[in-house]
Each structure stands twice: as structure tokens, then as C-alpha cells.
Amino acid sequence: MKEATKATQSQEEAETQPKIGRIPALIAAVAVVGIAIGAAAGLLTLMLYQVERFALGYIENSHESGPFNVPAIRRVVSVTLGATIAAVIWWLLRTRTTKVPSVKKAVGGALMPVWQTIVHVLLQIFIVGTGMSIGREVAPRELGAMFGQRFARWVRLDAKDTRMLVAITAAAGLAGVYNAPLAGTFFAVEILLADVTLETVTLAFACSALASWVASLVKGTHTFYLIGKADGLFTPDYMLFALVAGLVLGAAGALFRRGSQWAEKNKPSGTGILWMMPLAGLLTGVVAIAVPQVMGNGRATAQLSFSSKADLAVIPVLLLSFVAKAVVTLLTIRSGASGGVLQPGIALGASGGAVLGVLWMQMFHTNSIGMYALLGACALLAASQQAPLMAICLVMELADAPINLFVPIGLAVAVSSFTASRLAKPLAGFHLPIPQSAQPEK
């Protein structure tokens, strides 16, 4: 009896082993899926541009990062109509067919259905293009996770290697859409896997680099954020500023993290999405009449902070941008929309860093506002994601920042991450009241 059981186990293990060997199978998976997700990330970017062109009449770029020149009525109509269309399709997708699990659940073994995932991904790009305030980076990650799962099944990887591959290919989607291979690598090992080994880092970096290269062939390359004059030199007062900004933006990042968790947890699960998301779209459009930079994934808000003048007069504008972006983003998530918070986090950090930087420059008159906004973006993103390495690399790669700025920014990120970790437990015990009429449906 025991011999029969052992024979059965041996046969099952043999059936789950790749016929070409484990390492060749992993290398093949990284190569094939890296190319596929890179091409997909490039196409998703082009789709975003076309939705923006059709809905708002402009295409975002580093010089025109938001719909500043779009008529106010068109902003309102675009985001409201886009939210209404997405709400109906998401309601059907979530109540009439197989639900799409999160990337973290997919890494844990939950199967991502094919056509439902594709529709889910396209909807995320669509709502960002029409002006809803949410990040677009989750879409390519979900697509990468689905590709990774299917390829792992095809080559018969075991559960452990499948988990690693899904995390790596999901992170490669992030790398591809932003041309950020280092950020993709650290997203896989720091957030999805929490497993830093030579094998994991090597495969993750290879997949992210390949996806970034292929995506660049599809959509081209450009600097995502223009930070102005940044020669890479830093002064003692800039190092002191890193400590101050780390404390302030660490607390802000912890609050934003708690707010996004609350909004995600209390999403409507039934028909509530049919009225909540259109309402969120309408409110976004109304806010955008006065604050157009609030629309989209956060690029406009961040770029405004990077390129503002170092004058006290800009502080009210930056503070308004900060508050509006935070509130509208959380409202969008709470209404039932799916998407990311990386770009909104960068936008909030850049705004906060710029405000602190303008005040700091009144005393020391050193550096430029772009340097302070860059540091702020890294600090708040690291705090909100609790992923300091990924945060630094993503912002630095998007801004094409001088490499030796890692010194002051690393200090700010260390302080902000520590501050956020200390605030996590007290904030977790704080529960926001939800009106009875807005309770998530069971």
C-alpha cells in the first residue's frame, strides 16, 4: 500500500515538472512573457492616448500633462460619461460572470479568467483616458499576471515557481508601461513576493528590462516628468530638508494608504456602482472646472508641482491640487472603480514636497522647486506603499533624475517609511463612519 502511494506521488511530481527542465522553463517563460507583456503595455499606452484624443481632444505629454486647454464643459461630459459606461460594464462583469482577482491573489494562486481580465484591463485604461482620478498601472500588471499564469501551466511549473513567475510578469507590466525596469524588479521582490533571492531578482530584472525595451519599440521613449534644473548637487540644507519632508510626507503617506484601504474595502459590490461611479465622475468633472490637473492618473498634478515657480503665491494652488487629488482619488476608488494609486501617490508627494520646498527656499535659496518636489514624491510614495526601493526607483526612472540624488532622497524615504510604519497601527484602529445609504452591498 505504501509503495503504491509513493509511486502515485512520484508520478504526480513527474507530471508537474517541466519537460525541458526547471531553469530552461523559467528562462523561456521570462523571455516569452516579457516580450508579450511589453508589447501589451505599449499598446495600452497608445490606447490611453487615443481615448484622451477622442474624449478630451488632447494627448498627454511632458509639456501638456493635463487637460488645461480643454473646455470645462467637455471635461465634465467626458469624465461623467466615461464613468457611467464603465459602471455598467463593471457591474455586469462583477455580477454576471467570473470575478477578476487582484494581482496579489493571483500570485497566491487565484486563477485570472482570460476575457474577463482583458475587459477589466481595458476599462481601467478607458476611465483614466476620460479623466477619472486613478492610476493606470494596475491594468498591465493584471495582464502580466494572466500571461504568467497561462505560460506556467503550459510548461508545467510547480506551485512555488508559478507564484514567482506570476509576480515577476505582473511587475514587468508596470515596468513596460513606464519604462522602469528597476521599479518593476523591486515591485516583484519587495511587494508581491517579499522574497529577495539571487534567482528572483535576476529573473525579475530580466523580465522587466525586456518588457521595458519591447514597450519602448511600440510607444516610444520619453521622460515622463520634467523636473527642470537638477544638476545632482545637494547641499547640507537639502539633507536637513530630507529629514523634515520625510517626517511630514511620511505621515501624509500613511494617511493616504489608510484612506485608500478604506475606500477599497467599502466598494459597492452590487447595483451601488451604477449610481456611485457616475456621481464620482460628475464630481470629478465639477472639481476639474477649477482644478483641471485633478483629472487623470496624476501626471498633471505632479508636473505642475515640478515646474511651478518658487514663489509663495503658488502655495495655495499646490495645496488645492493636493487636497483635490487626494479626495477625488479616494472617491473614485470608493465608487467602485478599479485602478492603481502609484501615480496619484507621486502626484500628492510632488505637491507636498513643492509646498515644503517653496517655504524652505525662502530661508536657504538653494536648489530648485523640482528637486524638492522629486524628493517629496519619493517620500510619500514610499510611505503609502511601504516599499522604499520600488518608490525611489519608479520616481527616479520616470523623471530621469541624476543618480547621486539617491543620497538625500534615500534619507527622506528612510524617514518617511519609518514614520508611516509607526503610524500604521494607530491609523488601522481608526474607522471612518459610512452613511447607511452608502454601505457596501453584501
Bridge partners (DSSP) of residue 362 are none
Whole-angstrom distance, CA of residue 438 vs CA of residue 434: 6
Residue with cell 510614495: 381
SS3 string, the chain, reads CHHHHHHHHHHHHHHHCCCCCHHHHHHHHHHHHHHHHHHHHHHHHHHHHHHHHHHHCCCCCCCCCCCCCCCHHHHHHHHHHHHHHHHHHHHHHHHCCCCCCCHHHHHCCCCCCHHHHHHHHHHHHHHHHHCCCCECCHHHHHHHHHHHHHHHHHHCCCHHHHHHHHHHHHHHHHHHHHCCHHHHHHHHHHHHCCCCCHHHHHHHHHHHHHHHHHHHHHHCCCCCCCCCCCCCCCCHHHHHHHHHHHHHHHHHHHHHHHHHHHHHHCCCCCCCHHHHHHHHHHHHHHHHHHCHHHCCCCHHHHHHHHHCCCCHHHHHHHHHHHHHHHHHHHHHHHCCCCCECHHHHHHHHHHHHHHHHHHHHHHHCCCCHHHHHHHHHHHHHHHHHCCHHHHHHHHHHHHCCCHHHHHHHHHHHHHHHHHHHHHHHHHHCCCCCCCHHHCCCC
End-to-end CA distance of the chain: 48
**What is the residue-level pLDDT of the chain in tens, covering all 442 positions?**
444 444 444 444 444 567 678 888 899 999 999 999 999 999 999 999 999 999 999 998 877 888 999 999 999 999 999 999 999 999 999 999 998 999 999 999 999 999 999 999 999 999 999 999 999 999 999 999 999 999 999 888 899 999 999 999 999 999 999 999 999 999 998 888 877 788 899 999 999 999 999 999 999 888 899 987 776 677 888 999 999 999 999 999 999 999 999 999 999 988 999 999 999 999 999 999 999 999 999 999 999 999 888 888 899 999 999 999 999 999 999 999 999 999 999 999 999 999 999 999 988 877 788 999 999 999 999 999 999 999 999 999 999 998 888 999 999 999 999 999 999 888 877 665 554 444 444 3
Tens digit of each residue's pLDDT (9 = 90 or more) over 320-338:
999 999 999 999 999 999 9
Whole-angstrom distance, CA of residue 5 vs CA of residue 18: 22
Whole-angstrom distance, CA of residue 435 vs CA of residue 431: 13
